[in-house]
Amino acid sequence: MVNWMLEVFGNYDKTSSNFTYFRAVTIMDQFIRKAKRRLLDSDLHLVGVASIFLASKLEDVYHIVLDDIYSKVAHKRFSH
């Protein structure tokens, strides 16, 4: 998942920084660590996508918009 997240941020290198990537990984790690139930592999993609969106909102001046997250990052696998 971390490698995939790095690839995603590579597509947004004009607006996102390394700090955004590391914030996304930290958010994902903290969520997984504090999860009350065991997460399935299918849950991991959603956690990664949500972490990317949150990190971008926190770190980037021009964050990745939700429509891009939905269509380009999540490939329309989740509803918004």
pLDDT by residue for the chain (80 residues), tens only, comes to: 999 999 999 999 999 999 999 999 999 999 999 999 999 988 999 999 999 999 999 999 999 999 999 999 998 888 75
Domains of the chain: 2-73 (1.10.472.10)
Distant-in-sequence, close-in-space partners of 61: CB < 8 Å, separation ≥ 6: 15
Evaluate whether 44 touches 3 at the Cβ level (below 8 Å): no
